[in-house]
Amino acid sequence: VQVKWNGNKYPVQIDTAQPGIIFKTQLFSLTGVAPDRQKIMVKGGILKDDADMSSFGFKQDQILMMMGTVGELPKEPPKPTQFVEDMSDNQIAEALKLPTGLVNLGNTCYMNATIQCLRAVPDMKLALEKVNSTASRDSYLNLALSLRALLQSMEGSGAAVHPMVFLQVLRSVFPQFGEQDNRGFMQQDAEECWGQLISALDQKLPGLKADGTPEHQKHFIEQFMTLELLQETKCDDAPQEPPKTTLETLNKLRVNIGAGVSTYLVTEIQNSLIEKLEKNSATLGRNAIYTKTSKISRLPKYLTVNFVRFQWKPQEKIKAKILKRVQFPFELDMVTFCTPELQQKLQKGKAHIKTVEEKKAENRKLKLEDDQMQVDETKDQLQILKDIGADQIFLDDPGLNPSGLYDLVAVLTHMGRAADSGHYIGWSKDENNKWWKYDDDKVSPCKEEDITKLEGGGDWHSAYICLYRSKAL
């Protein structure tokens, strides 16, 4: 049909098997008018969210009129005081400030787990708030705005949120997430969802200055979540051939899983930074073996580690899962994987954190109270960098890690044998260092030992993506 709004006509395909809210979310992705603000004239009056679309007898290229404006809805008036005995379970959960879950809308656990893990990046939320535009025909911008709206709706806590609008916008931007079979919408790969979402946000989110104000000359993802690798490729068969040096940027570090029963993340990172290649050698005039060695020349504040747990099997036509255990640390030291130049710049930040941790250990021996031992993460990090004489690059860019040391803040896991089946769950640490398990709309607290069990090795939840955050100075 053709939907006329604001002097423009928008061609829209109607799925008459879906309720009216699905049609409205399609129009939201095109016009930016939120479903709650849309008034669509149909036979019998205004289209309702639960309307049976097959009952209207729509014809090919029929013109529908829509009224509504882009903008925020008026805020609800303050609610009167309620007593615990008068509250529902959801209201009690809201009063206790429990984290918010996301309703599974039909094989959407891959998306829910991705969003819950990315909530561990508070700087991203701040950057989303700095996007000044309203919804438009720019699909990537609409995706960023719908993510912002979803995260804001999750701040209220309590009842689980239905991410319907965000899901529809995601599927309109990346149609592969709307694939269906005879049973409905198909399960998707969470790592692909993560990658596509980050790629889209990279084009629309502004960078940030140290004081939190936007820096529009930079991009948030490039500034806060992108690492750089300095790569040197040498010919093994012709040592006299000059080595080739290149610079590669990545927004996640892909870690291949080697042979054996179990391994360690640090070991696999080291192995992934050395690669054997076969290609043509101009010196020898034939194919030769080359060794590509990578060193990290830029460490971002947030480091995404992706375990390559799935490999394509052409005969079965599935992404088969590698069930091997990979032990990952709660504290990750990336200094040894950096270039000598970057290692030198990271020394002061790393030494400062070591001094602080030694003092905390000494305080424990003296049996001081917990609040006397904790590092004050609210203290001005920029001032600390100045006090310890850190390199100027860390003063100029808050998106860098100034020490090379990281804390684990989120884990995305998969349970099952194939990427396009099974179940995805997000595990995330809040601002009080408390871990939570986000199984769609079911949210529950967990302990560090529960996170340790996510190493893999069987049909239990296996870590697929680990998100690390720079240690506070």
Rounded CA separation 61/34 (Å) = 23
Report phi then psi at 467, rounded to 5.
-110, 120
Q: What letter represents residue 42's amino acid? A: V
The question of whether 193 is a catalytic residue gets the answer no
Catalytic site residue from 193, 423, 446, 461: 423
User: Bridge-partner residues for 365, per DSSP?
Assistant: none
Is residue 211 exposed (0-12), middle (13-18) or buried (19+ Cβ within 10 Å)?
Answer: exposed
Q: Would you tell me how many other CB atoms lie within 10 Å of the CB of residue 39? A: 12
Is residue 109 among the annotated active site residues? yes
CA atoms within 13 A on the CB side of 147: 29
Quote the strand ranges of 364-404, DSSP E. none
The secondary structure of 182-203, three-state, reads: CCEECCCCHHHHHHHHHHHHHC
From the list 109, 117, 193, 338, the catalytic residue is 109
The region, left, alpha or beta by phi > 0 then psi within -120 to 50, assigned to residue 6 is left
> Cα(213)–Cα(259) distance, rounded to whole angstroms?
47
Give the catalytic positions in this structure: 109, 423
